[in-house]
Amino acid sequence: MSNDIWGLMVGTRNVTAATTANAQRTQDPAALGKEAFMQLLLMQMQNQDPLSPMEGQDFFQQLAQLSLLEQMWAMNDNLNAMMGQQQLLQAGSLIGKTVEATKENGIQITGEVKGVRVLDGEVFLDVDGDSISLSQVTAVREQ
């Protein structure tokens, strides 16, 4: 099992409304989903009826599901990182080419791509002094 799971299980003894409120304030919605799921699982395990505790087999099955779920989240994070790298490579191949783009306000821009940068996980092109999101590009031409 992963150290993250065990750290949560061992380190989290008192789950309070404040902890849940703090989790809801996080920026990343995926992190909220992970944290909320872990909190619910821990609450279930802590508050089970001592007169009819969970069977050992059920407990290990739940831990296996938790481990699988954590691996899926990690794989999703890796895929997102790979997509970001792919977009950066794609944008880099546009340097020196002429692009047409439509900004959010509807203004059409045509110009040569001078550079590429990443801000908050989004790829932007430097087009003759304007910053254009890669997703706003509508056409690409050779010089």
Phi/psi region, residue 73 (left: phi>0; alpha: psi -120 to 50; beta: rest), is alpha
CATH of domain 95-141: 2.30.30
| pLDDT tens digits, one per residue of 109-138 | 999 999 999 888 889 999 988 899 988 999
pTM, two decimals, is: 0.53
Q: What is the DSSP string of 85-125?
A: HHHHHHHHTTTTSEEEEE-TTS-EEEEEEEEEEEETTEEEE
| pLDDT tens digits, one per residue of 88-116 | 899 999 999 999 999 888 889 999 999 99
SS3 state of residue 53:
coil
- What residue ranges of the chain are covered by domains with CATH 2.30.30? 95-141
